[in-house]
A and B are shown apart, each in its own frame.
Chain A
């Protein structure tokens, strides 16, 4: 039995997985918050535009890693492949996000001349489908986040990846990074509405980090007790100081501590604004490190 590190998917794919989860979750959280809570449309447009930006950038990283990126359209051939579904989810997301964001751009005076060039019937149609686009885009965002885990779990010889816990971990981590990104955005705004939303986001991120810790516990417990490559992978991660310090301590425990302090002890006071921004940045760095290290811990278990 030989355990060999996979080398075909490196930091570019880790970046794609990270930006996919982040972009999908950023859209889903902001659109749902808009539907249920209502929020500052200007902030919302920034959030949605940046979520589109994350996914465009992520797709660029995926294409850059391919041998023949110009033929990428062929990826819509085999529905048994997760990449096929990823392409469907991402394209559906782009469609919904663009429909959703165009009416929001009216909030920006500089962009108004461009928006006014859009024929009025089309603009009113976009307005009418706003809620549907919010829901459809949120569903697609969720599916993109979970797809990033499903994609790499389809590897029978990499037992650390070939588990139902991985898509779950990636989707929760993706939503945690999405909430952290929105929290970071809200700390830059001086408006009272943004401050109120940031309280919700802080609570949401704390709950997501706790869920992520529970899944991580179950995942590593499963991996460490199997006499397979999964155990080797888990041990590799335990022996990686950057994973333990960078992801587990700095990317999960410290932000959770800061957010817990913010929720229960400081009464979400504005004094903790920069602390919250710091915690959000840590969650984002942690989210990237998680994907990078899960990819580098992928060990094939060869029978020779």
Chain B
């Protein structure tokens, strides 16, 4: 069984936001409400004259110890055998307990207005039929077709690297175990499966 994860190389991210666009197109996320499954944070670091601009792409960390899963009363949030954290739209009641529990701002509400707007835009191809809390799925529908997540395959600078963290031959395994990359907010004990190579 795979244990999917991602490495993000902050040295190469140029902040083009193509990943956000690819994700939006692939997953019909409500860009009209300014809600996205992945964001690129544009941060300034340091003090004048030693100031840097840093791009930090972020998404669901698909944590091993999953606070959102514990907080979800309905079992709508679940984890696949491959460690991907997903939401069963039909079971989600939209109580937001998962949004409160998530330490990475990875979840947002797909509200009725968003469902209606999606139906206007995508017609019978709309994939979000009912209001629910939405999040990154690591493009599970693509993985099952042996294709990378949309954000990874679209990234022009090879900032996002996706693969099986348990496969010693995979690039993500090599980087994640090399010590070059680290997960965010490790002190919380969530054991995220997205690792960052600092800029």
User: Given A156-B188, A157-B188: A71 and B101 within 8 A (CB)?
Assistant: no
Tell me whether A239 is interfacial, beta carbon within 8 Å: no
Bound Cα distance A168, B158 (Å) = 49
Chain B nearest CB: distance from A295 CB in Å? 10
Stretch with Cβ within 8 A of A (4 or more), from B14-22, B104-112, B167-175: B104-112
Q: Are A83 and B92 in contact (CB under 8 A)?
A: no
Chain B nearest CB: distance from A24 CB in Å? 19
Bound Cα distance A81, B97 (Å) = 9
Q: Are B101 and A68 in contact (CB under 8 A)?
A: no
Q: Are B73 and A68 in contact (CB under 8 A)?
A: no
Tier of interface size on chain A:
35 or more
Q: Which residues of A have CB within 8 Å of B111?
A: 67
Tell me whether A116 is interfacial, beta carbon within 8 Å: no
Indicate which residue in A62, A69, A82, A303 contacts B185 across the interface (CB closer than 8 Å). A303
Give residues of chain A (56-98) contacting chain B, Cβ–Cβ below 8 Å.
62, 65-69, 71-72, 74-78, 80-84, 87
Q: Are B73 and A87 in contact (CB under 8 A)?
A: yes
Q: Which residues of B have CB within 8 Å of A75?
A: 73-74, 93, 95
Bound Cα distance A158, B104 (Å) = 11
Tier of interface size on chain B:
35 or more
Tell me whether A155 is interfacial, beta carbon within 8 Å: yes
The prevalent SS among residues of B at the interface is: loop
B91, B94, B190 pick with most chain A CB within 10 angstroms? B94
Chain A nearest CB: distance from B76 CB in Å? 7
Q: Count the A-B residue pairs with Cβ separation under 8 angstroms: how many?
A: 110
- B64-79: contact bitstring with A at CB < 8 Å (1 yes, 0 no)? 0001011111111000
Q: Which residues of A have CB within 8 Å of B112?
A: 67
Q: Which residues of B have CB within 8 Å of A158?
A: 100
Q: Which residues of A have CB within 8 Å of B101?
A: 154-156
- B46-71: contact bitstring with A at CB < 8 Å (1 yes, 0 no)? 00000000001010000000010111
Indicate which residue in B43, B67, B69, B109 contacts A8 across the interface (CB closer than 8 Å). B109
Q: Are A300 and B71 in contact (CB under 8 A)?
A: no
Tell me whether A304 is interfacial, beta carbon within 8 Å: yes
Tell me whether A6 is interfacial, beta carbon within 8 Å: yes
Give residues of chain A (130-158) contacting chain B, Cβ–Cβ below 8 Å.
151-152, 154-158
Q: Are A302 and B100 in contact (CB under 8 A)?
A: no
Q: Are B93 and A72 in contact (CB under 8 A)?
A: yes
Tell me whether B166 is interfacial, beta carbon within 8 Å: no
Tell me whether A261 is interfacial, beta carbon within 8 Å: no
Q: Are A68 and B131 in contact (CB under 8 A)?
A: yes
Bound Cα distance A154, B70 (Å) = 9
Bound Cα distance A82, B185 (Å) = 24
Q: Which residues of A have CB within 8 Å of B185?
A: 157, 303
Indicate which residue in B74, B131, B184, B189 contacts A78 across the interface (CB closer than 8 Å). B74
Q: Which residues of B have CB within 8 Å of A81?
A: 70-73, 97
Q: Are A78 and B56 in contact (CB under 8 A)?
A: no
Q: Are A154 and B71 in contact (CB under 8 A)?
A: yes
Tell me whether A257 is interfacial, beta carbon within 8 Å: no
Q: Which residues of A have CB within 8 Å of B155?
A: none
Which A-chain residue is minimally distant from B41 (CB atoms)? A304
Tell me whether B99 is interfacial, beta carbon within 8 Å: yes
Q: Are B105 and A156 in contact (CB under 8 A)?
A: no
Which A-chain residue is minimally distant from B99 (CB atoms)? A8
Tell me whether B139 is interfacial, beta carbon within 8 Å: no
Q: Which residues of B have CB within 8 Å of A300?
A: 103, 105
Which B-chain residue is minimally distant from A86 (CB atoms)? B73
Q: Are A302 and B105 in contact (CB under 8 A)?
A: yes
11 CB-based A-B contacts, threshold 8 Å: A65-B96, A66-B95, A67-B94, A71-B93, A74-B73, A78-B75, A81-B72, A82-B71, A152-B100, A302-B105, A304-B58
Q: What is the interface of chain A, defined by CB distance below 8 A to chain B?
A: 4, 6, 8-9, 62, 65-69, 71-72, 74-78, 80-84, 87, 151-152, 154-158, 298, 300-304
Q: What is the interface of chain B, defined by CB distance below 8 A to chain A?
A: 41, 43, 56, 58, 67, 69-76, 91-97, 99-105, 109-112, 130-133, 184-185, 188-190
Q: 11 more A-B contacts (CB under 8 A) besides A81-B71, A303-B184?
A: A8-B109, A68-B92, A74-B74, A77-B74, A80-B69, A152-B100, A154-B97, A157-B104, A302-B104, A304-B43, A304-B56
Nearest 6 CB-CB pairs, A to B? A67-B94, A157-B103, A83-B73, A74-B74, A81-B73, A77-B75
